[in-house]
Amino acid sequence: MHISFRHELGRDPWFITGIGLGLVLLLLAGLGPVFSPYDPHDISFRPLSPPSADHWLGVNDGGMDIFSELLFGMRNTAGFGILAGFTALFLGVAVGLAAAWFGGFTDQIAMRLADVVLAVPSVMILIMAASLFRPSPVMLAVILSIISWPTTAKAIRSQALVVKNRLHIHAARQAGASGIYILARHLLPELFPLYLIGFAAKARMAMFMEASLAFLGLLDPARKSLGIIISFALKYYYMDIWWNWLLPPVILLSLLTMTVTFLVISLEKVFDPRLKEAL
Amino acid sequence: MKLEIDNLTVTYRNNGHNLLALDRIDLTLERGRITALVGESGSGKTTLGRTLMGLLPDNSESSGCIKLDENEILGLDEEGLNEIRWSKVAMVFQNQAANFNPAHRIIDQVAEPLIQRRNMKKDDARQSAGDALKRMGLLNHQAIRFPHELSGGEIQRSMLAMALIMEPELLILDEPTSALDAMTKAFVADVIDKVRQRGSSVLLITHDLDLAQKLSDDIAVLYLGRIMETMPAGELFLNPMHPYTLALGRSYPGVQVLRDLGGIRGEAFYRITHQHPQTGEKAMFHNHIIGPGSFHEDRHVPPAGCLFQPRCTQADGDCLLKNVSMINVGDHQVRCLRGGIVNRIELKGVSKRYGQVVALDCTNLDLRAGEVFCVVGETGSGKSTLAMIASGVLLPDSGLRFFDSIDMDEWRKKDYKSLAGRIGVVYQNPSQSVSHRLSVLDIVAEPLRIQGIGGDRKETFERVKKALADVRLPSEQEFLRRYPHELNLGAIQRVCIARALISEPSLLVADEPTSFLDPSVQAKVLKLLMELQTEKGLTMIFVTHDIGLARKIADRVGVMLAGKMVEIGPSSLVLGSPLHPYTSLLIKSAGGNGGGMVQMNAEPAKGGCSFAPRCTLADRACFWQLPPQVCLDGSYHSAACFRPQVTDNECFMENKPCLSGAAPACCN
C-alpha cells in the first residue's frame, strides 16, 4: 500500500543515508559554479603547489585549482549519469510496456531484442563508440542508455503483465475504458517503484562508466570529469601528492555510486518483498 | 353455465375523487373450468366477486355488462338478483365467521337457502344441510353447534357447504383458504375440484398462488383494477409473461420455490377518477394512480401509459406515454407494450477457446428482464467465461450476442461506453478488483468518469454518495477519502457493488461475488445484492459454485459442464428434481457427500458426453454420441443427456427444440 511505503522508507537507514548524501552531492554539483573559488580552466597558478588557504586541495600540474576542478568534474559526471539514467529508463519503460500491452508478436520481438542487447558487453561498445566517433558526452549518454535499457524493460514488462491482468483493470476495461485511460490511470502509476529502481541502477552504472572512459582518455581531456582528474593524478602518483589530488576524486566518485546504491537497496527492499527476506 | 364479463368498470364514489376499483375488465368463465384471479391487495379481486353477486355498496357505480348465459345480470334489481343468488351464483366470502349469524346453529343457516328458495320443508332442508355438511367432513354433533363454537377451518367448510347446497352453476370463492392449515386447504381444494367436475364454473379469488396454480385451469392477474395477464394455470411460475406476474410469483413463498422471497419494488397505490376543476372544453373525466410523482403541478395527470410502469423492470419511454392493450403471446394474453417480458440478453451459439482449451462450447442463453440466473458447475466448466462474455468485455470466438435485442458486438464497436454503462460487473476477489491507489470516491466514480456521464465534479460526487448509500455504506467525506486497505473485505465488496451500479445498469453480472467472504459477511452482501436486484429491477447473472447459494437466489439455474450448459430450468426444478446425473452429483457433493462418485481426474470422453466417464448410468452411446436435448415441464426444464433421471415417462419429450439450453444443433 502506497501510504505505508512512504512510512517505511522514512524509517529505513539505507534510505536516509542515501538521500542525505545524495542531497549534499547534488547541491555541490548543482551549485558548483557558485562555490568554486576559481575557474577550473584557469592555469595561472603555480603548478603542483600543495594545499593552502588559497587552494584548499592544491594546484595540479597544469596550474589549475584542484578543488574547482573537482566541483566541475562531479557536475559533469553526475549530469552524465542522470541523463543516461533517464534515457535508459524511458527506453526501458517504452519497450517493456509495449511488450506487455500488445503481447504476442510485439512481445516476442521486444524481448528477443532485449536478450541480444543484454548479450553484448556494454563497455566494449562504449569504448569503441567513444574512440571511433568521438561523440559528445550527451551522445555518449544516449548510446549508453541504448545498450542498458533491457533489464529495465524486462522488469517493467513482467510487472506490467501482472498488473494488466488484475481485476481492477479488468473492471475499468469492462466499464468502457480506453487503452490510453488504463495505461495512464492504472498501469503507469502502478509501476512507479520500478521507475525509481531502474533509474537509480542505470544512473549509477553510467556515472562509473563515464569516469572509466574519461580515465582511459577516451573523452575530451579538456572537459572536467572525475575520471580525467584521477587519470592525471595517477601520472604524478610517485610525487606523494596523491592524498590531495588523487584521493578526493576517488572518494567523490565512491560517494556518488554509494549514494545511488543505498537508494536502490532501500527502494528494492521496501517495494520488493522477496528481497526484503533475502537482505 | 357461461359467464361473460365485458368492459366492466366499477368505481366507488368518494367526494368527487372516485376510487377506480375495476377498469374495463373482460373475462369469460367457461363451464367446468376454474378461473383464478390473483393480484395484490387492492387490485380489485373482491370487488369483482361482489359485482357478480350484485353486492356492491350503495356508493358504487358500475358500467359494462355481465352476461350469465346471455342474460344480463349487471344492474338487476333485488328481485332479479334473488333469483340467481344461491341457485345460480353462490359466493364464499372472505372472513367467514362474520358471515354467519351468531344466534343460529350452523345447520339451520346452511339449510336456509333451501327453505327460502326451494320452499323445502324445514326437516327435509335440515336433512339435506346435514348431508352437505357431512360431505364437508363436519359430523352431526358439529353441525348443530353455533358459529362461535367452531374452528376457522370448520366455519370455512360450513360456508362452502352453504354455498354448494343449491348446486350453483357459478361458484365465487373469495380467499377460501387464507385462514386454513395445509390439510384443510387440501381438503377444500378437493371439494372445489369436485364442483368443477360437476360442470360448474368457479371463480377463485386468492392470494395463494400455489393453490391457484394447482387447482385452476386459467389464471387472470389483476393489477390496480386491470387484468394484466391471462394464462394457463401451469405457466404461472414457469413462464410468466408479464413483469408483474413474474414479480408476484417471486413474492409468494410457494412450497416448490427455493429462492428467497423477492417482492415487487415500489408500492401499489390506488386509482382515482375525477373531473378537472376547469370548466369548458378542458373539463374531462380521467383517472390516475395515486402515488408519489404521479401529479404535475396542478396535481392532475391525464391517463396514459402502463399502470405497472413505475414498478416495472423493463419499462422504457413508450410505457410512460402509450396506452396499452391486451396482446396474445402464445397462449397468454398480456397487457404489455413490450410484448411481455423481454429478453435482456441473448447469447446464440457463443464459444470461446483459449489455445487448445475449449472454455465455452457453443452455448445458447436467453435471460429475461428482471430475472436472476445462476450459473453453477465445477471449476473450469466455463461459468466465468460465460458470464464475462455476457458482460460484454470478453469477445467470443463465434456466436452472436444481443443486449435488449441489439447486436452487442456492433454496439460495442460503435459506442462501447454506452453499452458498458448498461452492464455492471462484480468480481470474485474484492481486494483485487479495486486499485489500492484510489480512494473510495475515485473507485466508485471511475465508471462515470470513463463513460463521461458523471457531469461536473459536484454531480459526480452526489452520484457517488447516492450509490454508496444504496449499498448501505457511509457517504461522509471521511469515508470517501479512505483507501481500500482501510476497509474490510465486505465493505470493499460493497464499494465494488456501488461501482457496478453507479451507471444504473440493467444487467448485473456477479462472478462469485461472495466466495472470498466469510459466511456472516457473505450473508450481508447477498441480502444487499438481492434487495438491490428487487429495488432496481436488475437482471442478474450470478456465477457460483455454491449450490446452496444458488438455491437461495436463483429464479433459473444453468448447469455448466466442460464448456457446455447441460441442464437449464427454473431453480426449483433443476435443483429439486435434476435430470442430468451431473447435476445430481453436484447437488449431492454440495452437501459434502458425493456418494463415492466424485473423480477429479477423469479423462473426458471425445465426442460424447463429457460426464460419461464419471457417470454411473453411462452406456456406450454416452461415450460416442452427443447427448440429445430432453425437455420437461412444458420444455422450460431441459437437459442434454441420454439417461435423464425422469420418473414420469409421459411428460418426456425427446429432441424437441427447447427454449434455451444446452448444445444446440448448430454446433458440431
SS (H, E, C) B298-339: CCCCCCCCCCCHHHCCCCCHHHHHCCCCCEEECCEEECCCCC
Identify the closest residue of chain B to A186 by CA–CA distance: B435
**Residue B295 predicted with pLDDT over 70:** no
Q: Are B622 and B642 in contact (CB under 8 A)?
A: yes
Tens digit of pLDDT for each residue in B521-573?
Answer: 888 888 888 888 888 888 899 998 888 888 888 888 888 888 888 888 888 88
**Residue A87 predicted with pLDDT over 90:** yes
Q: Do A171 and B436 touch (CB under 8 A)?
A: no
Across the beta sheet with B507-511, the strand order is B423-426, B507-511, B539-543, B372-377, B556-561, B564-570, B637-640, B629-632, B653-654
pLDDT for A279: 41
For residues B588 and B529, membership in a common domain is answered with no
Specify if B125 maps to a domain. yes
CA B48 to chain A, closest CA, distance in angstroms equals: 50
Q: In chain A, which residues have their Cβ closer than 8 Å to the Cβ of B432?
A: 166-168
Count of structural domains, chain B: 3
For residues B430 and B386, membership in a common domain is answered with yes
**Residue B301 predicted with pLDDT over 70:** no
Least confident of A109-123, A176-190, B619-633: B619-633
Percent of chain B's residues with pLDDT above 90: 0
Stretch A200-211: mean pLDDT? 86
Stretch B100-127: mean pLDDT? 84
Stretch A194-202: mean pLDDT? 84
Please state, in angstroms and rounded to a whole number, the distance separating the CA atoms of residues A142 and B561.
57
- Domain span including residue B423: 343-553
Judge if ipTM > 0.85.
Answer: no
**Residue B121 predicted with pLDDT over 60:** yes
Identify the closest residue of chain B to A167 by CA–CA distance: B433
Tens digit of pLDDT for each residue in B416-469?
Answer: 888 888 888 888 888 888 887 788 888 888 888 888 777 788 888 888 888 888
**Residue B164 predicted with pLDDT over 80:** yes
Instruction: Encode B262-276: b = buried (16+ Cβ within 10 Å), e = exposed.
Output: bebbbebebbbbbee
Q: Do A167 and B429 touch (CB under 8 A)?
A: yes
Q: If pLDDT is split at 50, 70 and 90, which confidence band does A272 have?
A: low
For residues B405 and B511, membership in a common domain is answered with yes
Specify if B39 maps to a domain. yes
**Residue finishing a domain among B251, B285, B315:** B251
**Residue A88 predicted with pLDDT over 70:** yes
Please state, in angstroms and rounded to a whole number, the distance separating the CA atoms of residues A38 and A56.
11
pLDDT for B413: 80
CA B484 to chain A, closest CA, distance in angstroms equals: 9
Specify if B447 maps to a domain. yes
Could you please report the per-residue DSSP string of A134-165? ---HHHHHHHHHHHH-HHHHHHHHHHHHHHHT
pLDDT for B49: 85
Identify the closest residue of chain B to A189 by CA–CA distance: B437
Please state, in angstroms and rounded to a whole number, the distance separating the CA atoms of residues A109 and A105.
6
pLDDT for B580: 83
Q: What is the CATH superfamily name and number for domain A2-43+57-278?
A: MetI-like (1.10.3720.10)
Give A 31-50 residues with CB within 8 A of chain B.
none
User: Could you tell me the residue ranges of all domains in chain A?
Assistant: 2-43+57-278
Tens digit of pLDDT for each residue in B225-284?
Answer: 888 888 888 888 888 888 888 888 888 887 777 777 777 777 766 666 655 554 444 445
Across the beta sheet with B327-329, the strand order is B89-92, B170-174, B201-205, B34-38, B218-223, B226-232, B332-334, B327-329
For residue B113, with 0-12 CB atoms within 10 Å meaning exposed, 13-18 middle and 19 or more buried, which class applies? buried
pLDDT for A95: 92
Query: Mean of the per-residue pLDDT values for chain B?
Result: 79
Chain A touched by B412 (CB under 8 Å): no
**Residue finishing a domain among B204, B226, B251:** B251
Specify if B513 maps to a domain. yes
Specify if B492 maps to a domain. yes
CA A108 to chain B, closest CA, distance in angstroms equals: 18
Identify the closest residue of chain B to A176 by CA–CA distance: B417
Give A 102-161 residues with CB within 8 A of chain B.
none
pLDDT for B599: 62
Percent of chain B's residues with pLDDT above 70: 87
Stretch B390-402: mean pLDDT? 83
**Residue B188 predicted with pLDDT over 60:** yes
pLDDT for B633: 65
| CATH number (domain holding residue B64) | 3.40.50.300
For residues B530 and B583, membership in a common domain is answered with no
Chain A touched by B113 (CB under 8 Å): no
Distances (CA, A) of A269 to A12, A205, A259, A265, B131: 9, 20, 15, 6, 95
Specify if B297 maps to a domain. no
Q: If pLDDT is split at 50, 70 and 90, which confidence band does B663 have?
A: very low
**Residue B61 predicted with pLDDT over 80:** yes
Specify if B665 maps to a domain. no
**Residue B645 predicted with pLDDT over 80:** no
For residues B170 and B228, membership in a common domain is answered with yes
Q: Do B450 and A176 touch (CB under 8 A)?
A: yes
**Residue B508 predicted with pLDDT over 70:** yes
Q: If pLDDT is split at 50, 70 and 90, which confidence band does A91 have?
A: very high
Q: Do A176 and B417 touch (CB under 8 A)?
A: yes
pLDDT for B273: 64
For residues B548 and B608, membership in a common domain is answered with no
Q: Are B179 and B167 in contact (CB under 8 A)?
A: no
Specify if B367 maps to a domain. yes
Tens digit of pLDDT for each residue in B5-50?
Answer: 888 888 888 776 677 788 888 888 888 888 888 888 878 888 888 8
pLDDT for B656: 44
Q: Do A170 and B392 touch (CB under 8 A)?
A: no
pLDDT for B662: 40
Q: If pLDDT is split at 50, 70 and 90, which confidence band does A6 have?
A: confident
pLDDT for B269: 66
**Residue finishing a domain among B221, B251, B281:** B251
Choice between B76 and B189, residue whose per-residue pLDDT is larger: B189
Stretch A97-116: mean pLDDT? 90
**Residue A275 predicted with pLDDT over 60:** no
pLDDT winner (highest mean) among A50-64, A88-102, A252-266? A88-102
Could you please report the per-residue DSSP string of B46-70? HHHHHHHHT---TTEEEEEEEEETT
